Amino acid sequence: MSWHDRNGRSLTRRLLPMLALMPGLFLAGCIHPLYGPSADGDPLAEKLKLIEVEPIDGALGHYIGDELVFGFNGTGSHVPPRYKLVVIPNEGVSTPLVDTVTGLVTAATVTVSAKYVLTDMSNGRDIAHGTVFTAASYDRTSQRYSDMQASRDAEKRDARTLADQIRTQIAAALSV
């Protein structure tokens, strides 16, 4: 066998396209749909229903808790819990924009981080833990009620985003 074919192309040049596809072939078995059956064969949606969310303090905690409960078990059915989720949020407000003429703040950003731990209630072992972070901005005006409502809306957006992040990370941990 020669290193060149009739057209003068080398063997490596003919094999190069096939070699480029090789990593994809090796990784093809590694892709696993997140909300498909988990490694033990149980549907992931059924595992997520088994999570009990511990009450979270404060208005932000209430928003996060509601989003998590709805995200894990949106059916409203009562299932005996197998896992316990503890979430500890931390909230801050920064005011990056100030009007130079009036000296009033024109925008604010609500930044929230939350630590979470998912524990298996049968053996007390931690299954998933981590920290998630998000920020939502809002405009401020001279009207106090509007500012309070805009701040509350930013908190709700942050809570929804945090709950989505926590739910996705926990789903990934339970799927293996």
H/E element, 58: helix 58-72
Residue-level pLDDT at 42: 78
Q: How confident is the model at residue 98 (pLDDT cuts 50, 70, 90)?
A: confident
Residue-level pLDDT at 36: 62
d(CA 153, CA 156): 5
CATH of segment(s) 37-175: 3.30.160.150
Q: How confident is the model at residue 6 (pLDDT cuts 50, 70, 90)?
A: low
Question: 174: Cβ–Cβ under 8 A, 6 or more apart, which residues?
Answer: 38, 44, 47, 48, 127, 128
d(CA 46, CA 166): 17
d(CA 42, CA 61): 30
Strand partners, 116: 87, 130
User: What phi, psi does 27 have (nearest 5°)?
Assistant: -90, -5
% of the chain at pLDDT higher than 90: 51
Domain residue ranges of the chain, discontinuous segments joined by +: 37-175
**Each residue of 24-58: pLDDT tens digit?**
656 555 555 555 666 677 788 888 999 999 999 99
**What would the mean pLDDT of 147-162 be, rounded to a whole number?**
94
The least confident of 1-5, 7-11, 125-129, 162-166 is 1-5
**Each residue of 100-134: pLDDT tens digit?**
787 778 888 999 999 999 999 999 999 999 999 99
Residue closest to 165 by CA, chosen among 140, 128, 139: 128
Residue-level pLDDT at 78: 85
Residue-level pLDDT at 143: 87
pTM attached to this predicted model: 0.76
**Each residue of 69-86: pLDDT tens digit?**
999 988 778 889 999 999
Q: How confident is the model at residue 161 (pLDDT cuts 50, 70, 90)?
A: very high
d(CA 164, CA 64): 10
**What would the mean pLDDT of 167-176 be, rounded to a whole number?**
90
With contact defined as beta carbons under 8 Å apart, do 84 and 118 qualify? yes
Mean of all residue pLDDT scores within the chain: 84
